[in-house]
Every structure is written in C-alpha cells, then in structure tokens.
Structure 1
Amino acid sequence: MNVTLTAVVLLTTAALCYAADAECKYRKTRKLALHWPDPSNCTRYYRCTNRSVKREVVCAEGKVYNAKTGKCSNNSEGLCKLTLAMPLDLTVNPCANEISGVYLAQPGYCRNFYICSQNQAYPQICDAGSRFNSTARTCVPDTNSECWQNKCVSEKNGTYLPNESSCSSFYLCSAGEAIEQECGNGSYFNTTKRICLPDPDGQFCWENLCIGKRDGEFVQNIMDCYSYYVCVAGKPIQQYCPEGSYFDSAEIGCVPGKCLPNTTEIPTTDTTTSTTDCIIESTEVTTPVTEAACDCPGGYKEGALVPFPNYPENCDKYYECSNGKLEEKECGEGNRFNSALGVCEPDV
C-alpha cells in the first residue's frame, strides 16, 4: 500500500514539474517563436523548453536578448528594439485577459503594438519602413507601403499628404513620421492643392454631411443607395438597409426593391457641380450624355478602382466606379487590394 502511494505521489510530482505553461502552448499552437522578451528589460527574456515549460533567461553583462536567434548577443549590434516604456495605465487594458508574451496590435495604428506581461500592456513601435503583422505577431517590411505611418519616410518636412481613409484629415510629415491632422469643422482636404477647403454641405467629403443637422436625422449616401447615414453629434454613422431594400431619399428611409435610375450630383471641381442621369445597374442612359458625365463622386473615371475606407484595415475590399456609382467589391479570401497598383493580389 505504501509503495503504491509513493508511486502515485512521484507520478503526480513529475506531472506537475512538466506541466505545459500557457505561454508555451499559446506560441506552439500559433507556430510562433518559442522565445519572447521581457518588455521592461533588454537583458532578460523567456523561452520554452522541449516540455513546453517557460524558463526565464538573464543575459550576461554586455549582452541583450536577440529576437532572431532567441539567445543573448553583444549589445553593440543594436539589437534592443524595445521602447522600455512603463506599462500603460489604460481605462481599457488590452492585456487584462491575455497571457504574458502576447503581442497585440494597437487600434488605429499599423506600426504600434503592445507586448503583454503580467497582464500589463507595454507600448512598442516597429522601425520606420516596417509594419506590425497581426497574424505573424511581429514587425515585417512594409514593402507595398500599406502602413500610413510610413507615408513620410522619404518625404520632406512640412509635406502634406492625403489620408485615404478620411477626406477631412491629412498627414503632416515631420522627421520622416506621418502625423495625422484634422481639417477644420466643415472643410475637407483637397488632394490637388494639398490644403483644406470649405465644404459646409458635405459636397466633397461625406464626413461633413451631418453638419448643422439634428441627431437621428437620415442622410443619403450618394455612393451606395443600399446604405445611408444617421447623424450623431454632427458625425455621419453609416447604416445599411435590410436585404431586398434600398434607401429612398424622398421617403427618407429604406423601401423594398432595387435602386432606381435617379439624378446624382457629381462634384466636378472644387466650386461647381453637374447633374446627370446615370443608370444604376444598367447599361442604358436616360438622356444623351458624354462619357465623362458618368464619372463617380470624387472625380473617379469609369472603371477606376478606389481603396475602401479605413484601408488597410479593410484591405480585401475596394470600390469600382461603374455608371457614376462607386460599387463595393471584394478581392476574395486570401487576397488583398494593392492601393498603389489598383489590383488584387495574394496577401502573403
């Protein structure tokens, strides 16, 4: 009996000694590197043993953690890329329910991310010219310039660049960094003149459609008749009609059926508009018009492919200009839209 109890105790002890740690199981499941840094100290890191047990490693004096090799290397090589900033005191802590060693993208940014350690979020940033890959959980080269934070890498100080995801803001280049700037209320960024211009009626920028309107008021979306905007605190919030219906500006609501041929005001310059009947979802034209008359809002030509709002977050979607309307398209699973080339390509 004593022999049996002793054997059970020994087996239980052995199981406890080699129980897989959550951090190691997490990294193995996602095929991530089995080592990660201590975000508060470049000379200390963690690695998983063959039995998936987490071990802390402290580098010798003059050496730091090497993320490529998972070992300690000479500090003279400039290997320490950590910000070594204090953990953030956030109202909503992204690492509150995460295990140590998890890398999380920082919302609204493409180079910034967090390293979770002891349920605290340590802010980090990828080098200029790279971006944070949420799938690989690491920084990768931004070869296709997908990250807005890299727009100014080769630009002069003081250069103004358009923000593809917002018509009422732009980027100011400073020391190679892109700093987002807002145009004044009721104005938009003119991509040709590279300045902010008045847009009190939302004629050139959908983000200005709700200026002066009551909360809860509905506004037509001239680019998509199957959706509309609801005004909240002067800002338009996009909503979608139920399947099989469209937004009727006369009824100020969604009605059954498909979009009917209608008259759409299309901005042609900064100061004038032209009114033309362009058939939606048809090749017919109600009145003789020139080819340019069916350009899409924003001056896009027939057949032009346009990045989707909040690109690159919605990197698999884009708009196609067709009969005066910007139609939403998708590249398909495993692909993304290359805004520079205007084509869909594998998301590798």
Structure 2
Amino acid sequence: MKKDTFRGLIILALIASVCGDWDCIGVKLYELQEDTSDETRYFVCFTEKSDPIFYDCPDEYKFNVDTKSCTLELVGRTEPSCAFEGEVFVASNSDPCDQYWLCDESLSAETKTCDSDLNVNPNAKDGSNSNRDAEYRFNSLLLQCVPKKYWLCGDGIPDCSQTDQRNQKWSNIQDCGSFYQCIGNTLTKQNCPSGFYFNVTAQSCFHNAAGLCQLPTDWLPGLLVDPENMCKGNVGKFLPDPYYCKAYYYCVAEDTPYWKPCEDDLYFNNGACTKTVPSTCICETIDWEELLPSTATSVAHPNPSKYYFCKKGFVAVEESCPPGMVFNAKEKLCSY
C-alpha cells in the first residue's frame, strides 16, 4: 500500500470517527438536541439507525436546552421597573422563599432579604412585624414577609405525615381564596367565602378589599415549559409554545414533546397552524425595521392598567402603570 494511500485512509477514518459522534444510537428519539457548534441550530433523530437531521432556528431565535425549542432570550432587564415607592416584586431570579424586590423613593428596585435589618415586612397591615426574633419567609400572595411557621415554601402543600404541619392551616400559593389543612394524616383543601382570601397569619378568611391578596405576576418571564412533564396526559395532542406564537409542541410520548415551527410563516392558534394571529402573540408581530433606531416598545395588555414591554430579541415582560393610570396604546405610555 502506498504511503499516500495509507495516509488518505487514516484521514478518512478520523473523519468517520468525528462524524460518528453525530449518529443517533443512544439519542432520545424525537427530542430536540443542541448543536453545540452553533446555538441557532438543533438536530433530531427519528430512528436509531438514521443520521440526525439538522434544522435552523428562526431569525433572532436561539436553541434553548431547557425548553427544548428555539426561543428568544428570557431576560430583557436586570431589575423591575418601579411605578411607586414601596412597590414589591417577587424575586423570581433568586430565592423566592427569602428575597424580594422593594422600590425606594428614587423608584429604584433593590433586592431585600426578609431577615435583614428591621425592614422585614414592607407592607404589613396585620401586626406580623412585631416579632423581630422570628425567622421570616416571603409570602408571594401578600407580597410581604411572614413568620416561617405561617408560610411553606416550594409548592406550598403541607406534608401531613409531619406532626408539626398538622396543627394549623396553610396558604394555597395558587389561589388566594382557599387553604390547606391536615386533618390527622389526611390533606384537605377548603375554600373561603366568595370575595374573601385566606390570611395565613390570622388563620382565617378576610374580605379581599382592594385586592390585598393576589397571585403574583413575575416581572421576569418564568420558565413556562417543562419538557419532562408537559405531555403527561397529553399524548397525541398539540400544545402551543408560550414563547413563540408560530410554533407548537406535539406530544409523541408522555416524556417526549416534539417542537416544530409552523410552515409558511403561519401562526399556531386553536390547535392548528393558521393565518389568524392568536392573543398570545404579544411581541412577535412587531416590525422592528419600522421602529429603527429604537429596539424596544410597549404594547397594550388586556388589563388597561398594565402593558407589555417588548425588546428585540427578548421575551415580553409584563409591567404596571403607576396607581390611577392606564396604558394609552396609541401614545404607548401610561396616563390619567
């Protein structure tokens, strides 16, 4: 065998070994995989014996390993936009059990910790600030710090096998008007009367005047997609992509959502790709070329006192107007 021929075979063998890293053996079928050489591309394996098929993300989109899809950047700001002094936000990008954002007199948001200094309860109206020696946790429904014994972090559901969780009622962090209670080892959920909310400190239902209790709206977009669990009970169904209104997930199996954009620049609406723009399409319809040199704008929200802040390349962020103001969609600002 000639030396050049031998050298050529070695080169071909090396190429084959490199390309072999991309075969589909051992790769989960129908699950989108990251192209580590290009963050705007991904690949999919449809059979173990086939070669992977590569796709490009739409313009401005990048492949996200957490959502198993092409999406915009999820964070467009480093801190919330304050509308008034004393406004409180859930700190979704840190420890939600302990930290929160508090707006100061200059309308700048600072990260606060419940047990730091004496400012443990910025909006307390029930006297829960009196016990300075207690360990506090941030109550995301009341947007204030409460003693640890009154607030369960995580999913907020008590463990009735623990004796110390049987002797009181606990907030339902998904609903102001209901609460959990362990009756013996049995977990129960009970409802407050209509128009009332459960006050965990007082351990009773209070009238929800002026919306004292409300489900938090994160100023940063949270991770709305859970690829491991989103298809449980949804096999064979099409699910909308909450971050991109021109794409959808198809549930191949209970643990395998297959993400795909609509063809011909259509929108995914009511289970199909159509020309009809869905209500979930907030910022994707903006023609950024018309707005140049600006790369950010505001869009109306169903709630007139709120609006969406849209920044090119980022997922929309929900914002609130100052108290008493509403959003003027024509002028793109808040006014009386």
Alignment TM class, shorter chain as reference: under 0.3
TM superposition score normalised by structure 2: 0.28
Structure whose CA Rg is larger: 1
Q: Which has the higher strand share?
A: 1
